[in-house]
A = this chain, B = another copy of it.
Amino acid sequence: MISFDSFKMNDDSPIYLQIILHIKRGIVAGSICDGDELPSRRVLSSLLGVNPNTVQKAYRILEEEELVLSRPGAKSYMQLDEDKTERVRSELLENDALYIINSMRQMGISKAEALKLIDRFWEE
C-alpha cells in the first residue's frame, strides 16, 4: 500500500497535482513499485482532509498516463515498467531542476554561486 505519511500539503498549487507529484516522486525514489495498491478514494481523501473527487482526479490523470490501473468496484493498482519509470524520472528531474534554477535566478544568484550553495547546504 502506497504511503502518504510524508505528504505535506501546500496551498500554492492544486491539491490533485500535489498528489500526482507525491506519487511520481515515490516512483522515482523506488518506494512505489509495479503492482502496489493505492489507497481508496475515500481513505486517502479522509487522510488528507480533502474531497474524494480531488483524489479521484489525481488517480484519473495517473491512469491516463498509464501509471495506474483502476476498475469500477475494484481497488486501484500501480502499473509500472522500466520505460514508464524512466519517463517519470526525467519529467520530474527537469521540472524540479527548473524550479530551483528559476528561484535562484530570481534571487540574483549566479550558476557558480548556486553550485556552491547546493554543495554547502546539502548536509543536514
Binding site for B on A (CB under 8 A): 6-8, 10, 12-14, 17, 21-22, 25-26, 28-31, 89, 92-109, 111, 114-115, 117-122, 124
Contact = CB atoms under 8 A, between A and B. Distances in A.
Q: Binding site of A, secondary structure by majority: helix, strand, loop or mixed? A: helix
A29 B108 contact: yes
Nearest to A98: B121
Contact of A100 (B21, B25, B93, B118): B118
B101 A121 contact: yes
A119 B115 contact: yes
A12 B26 CA distance: 19
A6 B105 contact: yes
Copies of this chain per assembly:
4
A107 B13 contact: no
A111 B44 CA distance: 27
Given A92-B103, A111-B118, 7 more contacts: A6-B106, A13-B13, A22-B106, A26-B106, A31-B108, A98-B121, A100-B103
A28 B122 CA distance: 20
Contact of A107 (B10, B25, B101, B103): B25
